[in-house]
Amino acid sequence: MRRRDLLAAIGAASLAPGLTWADARDPAYVSAARHPDGSYRLCGLDRGGAVLFDLPLPDRGHAAAAHPTRPEAVAFARRPGRFAIVLDCARGVEAARLTPPANRHFYGHGTFSSDGGILFTTENDLDTLDGRIGLWDAANRYARIGDIPSGGIGPHEMVRLPGSETLVVANGGIATHPDSGRTALNLATMRPNLAFLTPDGQVRDLAELDPALRQNSIRHLAVRRDGLVAAGMQWNGPKGEDPPLVLLCREGGDRDLLEADPAAHRSLQGYVGSVSFTRSGSRVAVTSPRGGVLQVFDVARRALSAVLREEDVCGLSPAGADGILVTTGRGISGVFAGDTLAAPVTSVWSWDNHVIAVG
């Protein structure tokens, strides 16, 4: 796709007035979940984690992308998945269904351009096993308009730097193919990275780990208002090794691993499932559903400051100035502020891995 056409598509969404998120009961978050009857849904949540609406999904969802102005949420299948459903959250109907090309599958995440004109999706090229970013025209019923390289292998979560169109892609470095399920095919040679890309595929910066940590798969991301990126990782190296699993990084700047004592590293069981800054940016939190633990770090001191033990905890998103909304697979949601989970809500829903802020 020509750069001029891409920029025109990015600007097109702002020209089309219509319904807003207020018409969908003004949810603060969306999250995929499983109902006790076995069906899968995308739910809109209020600021405390209570359900405002739920809309059907064809199978298990993973993450979602909320349109910045229209009351639309794109729900992605768990990798390696081949559906992404655009839900009109105001009318309660499916607005579009995205299907990748025959030699692709989704990796469970996506993000919008600043005005919502383009949806970007992380994808796997099954012919080469290289990562790709799919481009979809949100002003034209999400028609596919092209793709660009992700800058690595196994792109998972992707965010956009605030105030710009720069994409940050967590290339986990692990090659997979649906014929082998979720089995890693290249552990001996994997090279994860954080790629900073323009929407037309130019690499602005590529952040890689020290070679000794090349089996630390970069998976999940959060971004602070000033462009500081937090990355949560998953260890695929030798058993018994418990390296740091949280990285702070700026485009063209320093890369800092957040270190804690060995017991804290072990408690994550080699797996970070979600990461979030507080809105103030003073703290960053990560979860491990395997370890049943939430860890909060003081960003300025680069030090562990709080811990919460909660079975199957995973979803995280900013709440208030210094709180974080937390969700679990056991149906619990609540705001973690200070060092406690305040006013937790217990529901029938089994929350999936991610809870996504709206707006």
Among 317, 337, 338, smallest CA distance to 327 is for 317
| Local confidence band at 91 (pLDDT 50, 70, 90 cut-offs) | very high
Q: What is the pLDDT of residues 183-238, one digit of tens each?
A: 787 888 999 999 999 999 999 999 999 999 999 999 999 999 999 999 999 999 99
pLDDT of 270 > 90? The answer is yes
Greatest alpha-carbon pair distance for the chain in Å reads: 55
C-alpha distance from residue 47 to each of 87, 258, 326 (Å): 20, 29, 11
Cβ pair 43, 349 in contact under 8 A:
yes
Nearest-CA neighbor of 121 among 188, 167, 153, 68? 167
- Position 15 scores a pLDDT of 44
Residue 3: per-residue pLDDT: 59
| Residue 71 clears pLDDT 60, i.e. is over it | yes
pLDDT tops 70 at residue 96: yes
CA distance 168 to 151: 10
- The mean of the pLDDT values for the chain is 93
Q: How far is 21 from 117, CA to CA, in rounded Å?
A: 16
Superfamily of segment(s) 3-357: YVTN repeat-like/Quinoprotein amine dehydrogenase (2.130.10.10)
